[in-house]
Amino acid sequence: MIIDFNGIQPITVPGMNDGSGTMTARMHNDASYRIIQTIIHPGSSIGLHRQESGDDLNYVISGAGKAICDGQEEELKPGVMHICPQGSEHSIINSGDEDLIILAVVVKK
């Protein structure tokens, strides 16, 4: 299977999960996976939320930020993967001055 994100219409979401600023996403969603090319713009965040549908794996492509998962703060930088297990609470914050670009994969359980 190939997923061509270039053919997926991007959506801009203000205040995702009561976070700040905006993010832009291109999403593939099927019965097994939700795969999202995510761009969290400078000064923006995805607000704290419980991960209900499955484990959420977030691979950082570029930019800088932090994730907070179950109260633990983790540094995000290129080449790092933040994993939020199903049932945990997390948020992702762009703390840099450029876009934080992440490939997020939610494995539905």
In a domain, 73, yes or no: yes
Residue 36 lies inside a defined structural domain of this protein: yes
Domain containing residue 26: 10-108
CATH number assigned to the domain comprising residue 20:
2.60.120.10
Average pLDDT, the chain: 96
Let me know if residue 68 belongs to a domain: yes
Model pTM score: 0.92
Mean pLDDT of 82-86: 95
Mean pLDDT over 33-38 rounds to 95
pLDDT of 109 above 80: no
Residue 60 has pLDDT above 80, yes or no: yes
Question: Does residue 5 lie within any of the structural domains?
Answer: no
Confidence label for 67 from pLDDT (cuts 50, 70 and 90)? very high
Q: Torsion over CA of 22, 48, 9 and 100, rounded to 10 degrees?
A: 60
Model pLDDT, residue 1? 87
In a domain, 49, yes or no: yes
